[in-house]
Amino acid sequence: MRRTGRAARRVSVVLATLALVACSGGRSVEPLAPDVVAEKIADALEEEVGVRPVVACSEELPAEVGAELVCDLTTAGAPETIYPVTATVTSVDPDTGEVKFDVSVADAPEGSEGPTTSTEPSATGEATG
């Protein structure tokens, strides 16, 4: 069992543009491309902490409430240190194509003994594509 420590950084992200989602008759929203999710995570975290991280996602994020995608976060100062960052879809509006998701960054890098997630938000941000 992992010990808990300070809360992981968490940011809310909103994506809502025609370039990000494709609607079919106002009923379904296409998954979000990995590079789009990574960019929006980086945008939101840069706004929150003032430094732009490097984020890489290897899969699409399904536009379904509760869907999760774990991506890798690094910084320019320590590119070999990887922090897991999880995007969790909180809402999807099929009429507008708007997808909202929370972002949780682990306090400790991969392979360490530190906590990996938190349920307490420490930041709220908004990003639009």
The answer, yes or no, to whether residue 127 has pLDDT greater than 60, is: no
Tens of pLDDT along 42-73? Answer: 998 998 889 999 999 999 999 999 999 999 99
3-state secondary structure string across 70-129:
EEEEEECCEEEEEEEEEEEEEEEECCCCEEEEEEEECCCCCCCCCCCCCCCCCCCCCCCC
Structure tokens at 43: 């945008």
Structure tokens at 119: 């349920």
The answer, yes or no, to whether residue 18 has pLDDT greater than 70, is: no
Whole-prediction pTM: 0.70
Mean pLDDT, residues 94-113: 86
Structure tokens at 98: 């708007």
Distance of CA 91 to the CA centre of its chain: 13
pLDDT given at position 121: 30
The answer, yes or no, to whether residue 34 has pLDDT greater than 60, is: yes
Backbone torsions φ then ψ of 45, nearest 5 degrees: -70, -35
